[in-house]
Structure 1
Amino acid sequence: MSDEAAPGYVRIRLDLSYDGSDFHGWAKQAGGKRTVQGEIEDALRTVTRSGGTTYELTVAGRTDAGVHARGQVAHVDLPEAVWREHHEKLLKRLAGRLPKDVRVWALREAPSGFNARFSAVWRRYAYRVTDNPGGVDPLLRNHVLWHDWPLDVDAMNEAARALLGEHDFAAYCKKREGATTIRTLQQLSLVRGDDGIITATVRADAFCHNMVRSLIGALLFVGDGHRPADWPGKVLAAGVRDSAVHVVRPHGLTLEQVGYPADELLAARSREARNRRSLPGTSGCETC
């Protein structure tokens, strides 16, 4: 996965959003399941009249089935001739070809060294939940989780503070062979809005599989009084999956924004992200 397009190609950055309700996640899958990547690549192939050629996308964050995105970023390498021929009308043509639950908002040539995945310095997610005894507003049912116990946001924020910083989040991740679970959690905070919806903002350099939904599951147990505020930190320190930590449902989760450094630092950031990383006294493995 190069940080530069091959000779004769140009790297294009895409900014996009989607409602994940009817998708089986971002990444293409065998068996014809509907995915965001598959829809965009099919549309791109059609509007560029590329026949059997598929231009493969690289994405900043591979969201799971049911997870939404407002600020997703991807890149694709297109032949220079294709980009010259189509770029002025490509955005509008994609809007006409893509289904209504996914939209590309911007297409532009990426700066040198840009890699949508490895150049990113942080990803910011929001998880939305309500404890309204009447349930979720029907207009928000695909984007807000209903929790049927009253939630103490102050207790949840107290618990969240113990999770900040660089840690091995093995207790909150679904382990994948050859992938590290060491992450730097930069922000984890919760605010109750005037509408009663609690929004958890979660930002990290990267996330391992199920990490955000597991963290929220632990905080909900604190918020409804089933666990004390120091419990999520103790689970983290134990370093193993706790059966009491539930992976909450995906529909409350939205990828809000992806952060990148200044253009001149993109290549260096990409190299850094590919390095093996570890905590003191542990062995590392390639970052995922």
Structure 2
Amino acid sequence: MTRLRIDLAYDGGGFYGWATQPHIRTVQGTIEAALHKLLRVPDHDPDEPLRLVVAGRTDTGVHASHQVCHLDIDESTLARAVGHMKVPAVTALEHRLQRLLPTDIAIHRVSVAPDGFDARFSALERTYVYRIADRASEVDPRLRGCVLHIDDTLDLDAMNRAAAMTLGLHDFGSFATPNPGGTTIREVKRAAWTRVPSRPLVPARDDVATHGTGDARDAARVCGDATGGYVTPTLESGLVCFTIVADAFARNMVRSLVNACVAVGIGKRDLDWFAGKMAVPKREGSTGPIAPQGLTLEHVAYPPDDELASRAEAIRAVRTLP
């Protein structure tokens, strides 16, 4: 058997999450169906299940700009991907799979995984970003599928004080649901709210930027004027973004933390309430998840190749708090 690493991205808006479920469209189910078709393997073949193992399962409507999964496949089955292409089997699989998949899934790369690699258990950390357009932002309807719009101005200072409480090893039972036999204990390495600066994508004309007065140069750089021309901002200019990095995440953990921080940011809840939720890891109605469309899995980090197996072995152990 050969283990392949697959790096990919997807727009989660048209999927009921990652994990395969009968009779509904999921990311895993769509890719596995394409693999069965491409490699001419019957569905539910016990000898060649073509089962994907993913770094982090995403919920319904959640996106991934860089997800990672692995696939164990027999070498003779993999060879079927070549067909008339004069390239290695792994390269052929990458090209054919991308052409067969729908446009809301993109394959970045297919490669032979190093010894000891496990997409889920070898991962050191995952990075998620949640994007919000609040009242202080300019709402761009083109981003409605990946940005949540709220009709309030968010207090980022208060939200960052709340987010700082999540750093370190904690039981996030107030914000997450454990897997069967698992826990909600996780180690958060970074959690911060920022507003994306308004950066020009197309700068002002050189004559204004170079020769104009200080005020004129500033205006031209930020929003343009009749002399300097319109300055096109980047798509994310002005958005509020929550970036969180942890060794792993329990179900609904990120979206529930975002919802709690937003409640603090609009003044609906205070920091003492958030601290109480961190201190008493008990799930109840006030800490449910926020809407999914603003959330994207951005990155999965792995250790050096010679540490992959030991990392996978260590992370399989059920964690406890000191």
In structure 1, what is the Cα distance between the partners aligned to 2:72 and 2:278?
A: 40
In structure 1, what is the Cα distance between the partners aligned to 2:119 and 2:16?
A: 21
Aligned 8 A contact 1:136 1:145 in 2 = no
Aligned 8 A contact 1:60 1:116 in 2 = yes
Which residue, out of 12, 25, 31, partners 1:20? 12
- CA shift in 2, pair 1:135/1:245, >3 Å: farther
Alignment partner of 1:226 is 2:248: no
In structure 2, what is the Cα distance between the partners aligned to 1:94 and 1:177?
A: 33
Alignment of 1:1-288 (within 5 A): 9-30=1-22, 32-52=23-43, 53=45, 54-86=49-81, 87=89, 88-132=91-135, 136-193=139-196, 194=198, 195-280=237-322
In structure 1, what is the Cα distance between the partners aligned to 2:309 and 2:277?
A: 36
In structure 2, what is the Cα distance between the partners aligned to 1:243 and 1:78?
A: 44
In structure 2, what is the Cα distance between the partners aligned to 1:76 and 1:113?
A: 13
Secondary structure of the corresponding residue to residue 47 of structure 1:
helix
Q: CA deviation at 1:104?
A: 1.2
Q: Normalising to structure 1: TM-score of the pair?
A: 0.90
In structure 2, what is the Cα distance between the partners aligned to 1:113 and 1:174?
A: 29
Could you give the per-residue CA deviations for residues 176-196 of structure 1, whole angstroms, max 9, x where no partner exists? 442201000111101101222
Matched residue, 2:204: none
Aligned 8 A contact 1:165 1:185 in 2 = yes
Aligned 8 A contact 2:138 2:238 in 1 = no
Matched residue, 2:222: none
In structure 2, what is the Cα distance between the partners aligned to 1:184 and 1:110?
A: 26
Q: CA deviation at 1:134?
A: 8.1
Matched residue, 2:208: none
Q: Normalising to structure 2: TM-score of the pair?
A: 0.81
In structure 1, what is the Cα distance between the partners aligned to 2:2 and 2:102?
A: 26
Of residues 85-94 and 261-270 in structure 1, the stretch that sits farther from structure 2 once superposed is: 85-94
Which has the greater radius of gyration? Answer: 2
Q: Percent identity?
A: 45
Aligned 8 A contact 2:175 2:288 in 1 = no
Q: CA deviation at 1:85?
A: 4.6
Secondary structure of the corresponding residue to residue 107 of structure 1:
strand
Aligned 8 A contact 1:235 1:242 in 2 = no
Aligned length: 271
Aligned 8 A contact 2:137 2:239 in 1 = no
- CA shift in 2, pair 1:241/1:114, >3 Å: same
Secondary structure of the corresponding residue to residue 232 of structure 1:
helix
In structure 2, what is the Cα distance between the partners aligned to 1:92 and 1:238?
A: 50
Q: CA deviation at 1:144?
A: 0.5
Aligned 8 A contact 1:15 1:105 in 2 = yes
Of residues 223-232 and 107-116 in structure 1, the stretch that sits farther from structure 2 once superposed is: 223-232
Q: Which runs of 5+ in 2 are unaligned?
A: 82-88, 199-236
Look up the equivalent residue of 1:200 and give its one-letter code: F
Secondary structure of the corresponding residue to residue 222 of structure 1:
helix
Superposition misfits of 4+ residues, deviation over 6 angstroms: none
